[in-house]
Structure 1
Amino acid sequence: MENKSLPVPLMWRLMLALSRLVVFPLCRLRVSGQIPGQLRGRAVILAANHVSPFDPIVMTAACHKAGVAPRFLATGGIFDAPIAGAAMRAAGHIRVDRNTTHVADALPAAAEALRDGAMVLIYPEGRIGLDPWMWPERGKTGVARLAAMSGAPVLPVAQWGAHAVFPYDTPKNLLRSTLRAMRRRPVVQVRFGDAPVGLPAATGNTGAQAMKATRLIMDGIDETLIHLRAGEMETPHVVDTTRTPDYSRVRPRPDRATHP
């Protein structure tokens, strides 16, 4: 599990292996798809949907199972924690200080990692999605801008079911959620996309390019997620009642009548 250009830090190797042990008693992890052969050992942006506070641990375990070790863009609060922050820095992850004047610093840092040959994972929604039907909501343009800065391809990744382990309002009622998950061990799925998103050639102004590319990236995540949501294309089987739906970032989809 080592990139040809950028060695994987020991701390990150340990965290990847440990994630499998953390996930096992809480859920049954199912990983499908695979990183296309031509993308292994090179700079790649993994763009994933976000449904639960448990997602990063699930994604870490899925990446370990898939044999890849992407650097995560993670919220700055984690880096400020005494133990977790030190581990995140030692693992080579990239800090994102949302809603501050330093938020823009994350993209150059991620672009530098990509130029060094790293694989980078980002949640383009920028938060746990609040789409009423739990489909990916309208994405931020950061992934598209990072792809333009670095020239790295964007591979969609879909995950589903982590909300049945830890709901939106975690860490509230954390013990209750943990015990319930250990008793039920719900299925949590991660699927790697079949191919990178076909991004448009650079035409028009930069903002318009980024918005168009973002729509294509979110569509790619949608198409990957469809494979995981058989039988629950509309209302999810597990409804997270702690989420307050936000209609302001619902993405228009031509198949909304069939798939919400």
Structure 2
Amino acid sequence: MALKETRRPSIFWLMAWVCFGLLGGSVKFRVAHPERIPERGAFVIAPNHYSEIDPVIVGMMLYRLGRIPRFLTKASLFKIPVVGWFLRRSGQVPVERAGSAAAKGPSPLAAAREIARAERIVVVYPEGTLTRDPDMWPMRGKNGAARIALEQGIPVIPVAHWGTQALMGRYAKKINLLRRHPIDFAIGKPVDLSEFEGKPIDQHLLADATEKIMGAITAELEKLRGDKAPAHRWDPSLHGQSETGRIEP
């Protein structure tokens, strides 16, 4: 699949060239149902998250399929010389996530809405951070993906992947480039959120819609892993864990 979005010269070409140049020889993509990625229009990609390098790998996969992904990115990264320039020029969106700076900067939801209105795709990690589940199954989700989809009337496509932990382990600081790592993707059908449409968007509705999205991601991951996820989704608050930041492996 080669779409007009990736044919137009852009700074994203250079970023893709760098990523594929550095990692192309160390990863082998195997994508189930690539045809489920729409060729045009706005939608939310909702992947699982268990390695720091996940956004790069997901971005590379989407680029190979002809779509340029936009990520909601920590505002602090935009202050890094060169890195910040590339992020801005490639259309990534800076967001403040916590503290007093958050009141001054754009919120993740507002930034994602702008991407949706521009008929682009936005990658939203429903878990909000690397999963705390000891076996790296998707944990409890947050409602950002569901809210964007319902407010903007755009689809949510669940995406599961497995294999990036061999390339870069959870909370690892180094990338393993010594061998080629197969990374499997399963792209699901758009999550059916019709039961929530036309209703007041409150916390209860968002929680139900989010759980449906997380269930769809988990179902795709079960196919990749050939195993069943735990009956109850991991909840950091029930295990004395913080919502953000690093934890012990």
TM-score between both structures, scaled by the size of structure 2: 0.82
5+ residue gaps, structure 1, are: 236-244, 251-260
Q: Does 1:207 align with 2:228?
A: no
Q: Measure the CA separation in 1 of the matches of 2:109 and 2:48.
A: 19
In 2, are the aligned partners of 1:78 and 1:85 still within 8 Å (CA)? yes
Cα 1:233–1:17 change in 2 (3 A) is farther
Q: CA RMSD in A?
A: 2.6
Query: Which residue matches 1:196?
Result: 190
Question: Greater CA deviation, 101-110 or 69-78?
Answer: 101-110
TM superposition outliers: structure 1 runs of 4+ over 4 Å: 232-235
Cα 1:88–1:9 change in 2 (3 A) is farther
Query: Which residue matches 2:47?
Result: 48
Query: Which residue matches 1:81?
Result: 80
Query: Which residue matches 2:27?
Result: 27
Report deviation, 1:229.
Answer: 0.7
Q: Measure the CA separation in 1 of the matches of 2:97 and 2:23.
A: 27
Q: Does 1:186 align with 2:181?
A: yes
Q: Measure the CA separation in 2 of the matches of 1:192 and 1:20.
A: 21
Cα 1:234–1:148 change in 2 (3 A) is closer
In 2, are the aligned partners of 1:202 and 1:209 still within 8 Å (CA)? no
For residues 112-138 of structure 1, give each alpha carbon's deviation from its aligned partner in whole angstroms, at most 9, with x where no partner exists: 221121111111111011112211111
For residues 58-97 of structure 1, give each alpha carbon's deviation from its aligned partner in whole angstroms, at most 9, with x where no partner exists: 1121112211112112222322211111101111112232
For residues 27-62 of structure 1, give each alpha carbon's deviation from its aligned partner in whole angstroms, at most 9, with x where no partner exists: 32322222437x321011101111101111111211
2:177 is paired with a residue of what secondary structure? helix
Q: Measure the CA separation in 2 of the matches of 1:205 and 1:185.
A: 45
Q: Measure the CA separation in 2 of the matches of 1:249 and 1:182.
A: 37
Q: Does 1:92 align with 2:88?
A: no
In 1, are the aligned partners of 2:43 and 2:154 still within 8 Å (CA)? yes
Report deviation, 1:234.
Answer: 6.5
1:63 is paired with a residue of what secondary structure? helix
In 2, are the aligned partners of 1:8 and 1:69 still within 8 Å (CA)? no
Question: Greater CA deviation, 199-208 or 48-57?
Answer: 199-208
Q: Measure the CA separation in 2 of the matches of 1:233 and 1:213.
A: 22
5+ residue gaps, structure 2, are: 240-249
TM-score between both structures, scaled by the size of structure 1: 0.78
